[in-house]
Amino acid sequence: MYDTPRNAHIYTNARIATLATLSGEQSYGLVSGALVIVDGWIDHIGPIQSLPEKYARAPQTDLEGRLITPGLIDCHTHLVYGGSRANEFEMRLEGKSYAEISKAGGGIVSTVAATKAASDEELLLQTHKRLNNLLSEGVSTVEIKSGYGLDVETELRMLRIARRLSEQRPVRIQTTFLGAHAIPKGMSADAYIDDMCIPALRAAHTEGLVDAVDGFCENIGFTTAQISRVFDAAKELGLPVKLHAEQLSDQAGAQLAASYNALSADHLEYISDEGIAAMAKAGVVAGILPGAFYFLGETQKPPIRKLRAARVPMAVATDSNPGSSPMTSILMAMNMAATLFGLTPEECLRGVTVNAAKALGLTDCGTLEIGKRADLAIWDVDHPAELTYRMGDAPLYHRIFEGKIC
Ligand code: DI6
Ligand code: FE
């Protein structure tokens, strides 16, 4: 006699995209058969014939050939913010550039004003709507950045709201402190970094609100010297770093990120060969964000072929934010990464699972393997490429978070 583990559940007749093989090996790491969850963790994956006897009396669900993938991971978002920037969208279409609008007091600082003016409840309500869109597409982990506060209190508020979301919905939230996002009016960039941003980081860390630290390294943002000071403070606190790098110009941000062993460097439209080599050597993930490229009507694409050839792991994310990527669809981000940048559908799926987990420094999710969290998405599709292929249609059958259907 075998004792069936308590809280075991068997999903049978499934096609399972484990993503547990290296890219280019067995396609999507596909396995046909059963997946067993015990207490919120994956306990077994394999053909039904080899299902261990110990599960003989566990309840079963027949998935009738449906596809299981890891729960999707959106590893770069600015989901918490107040207001909208539809007016600036209009201005851009009337001929102004993103950089011009930003220099004229629009851009990030206009969202800062709207975020400060909104109550916690208003911010929560707005953010829940955006989060719900992601969850309806099988997302189980979302990274959320601060950066629309630019003062100690509002940066902390944003991060507290991000944390509260995971208490209110079945989702895992990873918080990122992005104090170095824009320069508030009337302040020098250096004074802002030293007198506001770094003290805010320390205060947020003391409150347990920070999982990682990010910065906007750009000619309309901060220099590498200024970002270095933020990264040094992060290092002192034992926090991992990541960077918005080479989105609009080459600032050698990728090299800076690599020198701090960053989790990821994101955007990368203007990255140099030296930047790619540095990322490859340090194992930094490339965050590919086609939503911002699309929405800003950019023409310079990230050098995907070179990143691929250098074996830099690529993650794909929405970069959901009011100014450059008002998008709350991870499946659309996958579609755009393929159609605009030439990622293969398998690279897109790896980009929102295994490589997105790596971009967040998470080792317990992103693939389907024994011992990983049972955060799954079950899809009504015949082939995994359909997840990247469709536009505006999420063929989600069930989302499973910590082993439970939700
Ligand atoms: N890069 C981006 O694309 C967003 N932030 C950043 O650092 C833009 C944010 C915004 O325009 O509100
Ligand atoms: Fe961003």
Ligand 1 geometric centre to CA of 294 (Å): 13
Q: What residue owns the CA closest to ligand 1's atom 2?
A: 324
Ligand 2 geometric centre to CA of 243 (Å): 9
Amino acid at 16: I
Is 323 near ligand 1, meaning CB less than 6 Å away? yes
Q: Which helix (H) or strand (E) holds 235?
A: helix 224-237
Q: What residue owns the CA closest to ligand 1's atom 7?
A: 216
pLDDT tens by residue, 66-116 = 999 999 999 999 999 999 999 999 999 999 987 889 888 789 999 999 999
The pLDDT of residue 121? 97
Is 155 near ligand 1, meaning CB less than 6 Å away? no
- The number of angstroms, rounded, from the C-alpha of 95 to the middle of its chain's C-alpha atoms is 31
Is 115 near ligand 1, meaning CB less than 6 Å away? no
- The number of angstroms, rounded, from the C-alpha of 119 to the middle of its chain's C-alpha atoms is 26
> Is 326 in contact with 295 (CB distance < 8 Å)?
yes
Ligand 2 geometric centre to CA of 58 (Å): 44
> Is 10 in contact with 19 (CB distance < 8 Å)?
no
pTM over 0.95: yes
In ligand 1, which atom is closest to the CA atom of 178? 7
Q: Which helix (H) or strand (E) holds 215?
A: strand 212-217
Residues with Cβ < 8 Å from 73, sequence gap 6 or more? 139, 140, 141, 142, 352, 353, 356, 357, 360, 362, 365, 366
The pLDDT of residue 104? 81
Q: What residue owns the CA closest to ligand 1's atom 9?
A: 323
The pLDDT of residue 23? 61
pLDDT tens by residue, 286-297 = 999 999 999 999
Q: Where does 52-186 show beta strands of DSSP type E? A: 60-62, 67-70, 72-74, 139-145, 172-180
Dist CA 318 CA 309 (whole Å)? 24
| Among 268, 324, 325, residue to substitute to test ligand 1 (most atoms within 8 Å of Cβ) | 324
The pLDDT of residue 25? 58
Q: What residue owns the CA closest to ligand 1's atom 10?
A: 323
The pLDDT of residue 27? 86
The pLDDT of residue 103? 80
Spell out, as residue ranges, where the chain has pLDDT lower than 50: none
Residues with Cβ < 8 Å from 195, sequence gap 6 or more? none
The pLDDT of residue 105? 79
Amino acid at 119: S
pLDDT tens by residue, 4-53 = 888 999 999 999 999 998 765 568 999 999 999 999 999 999 999 999 99
Rounded to 10 degrees, the C-alpha dihedral 366/285/241/121 comes to -50
DSSP string, 306-324: HHHHTT--EEE----BTTT
The pLDDT of residue 310? 98
> Is 314 in contact with 286 (CB distance < 8 Å)?
yes
Beta bridge partners of 241: 213
Rounded to 10 degrees, the C-alpha dihedral 165/193/247/101 comes to 90
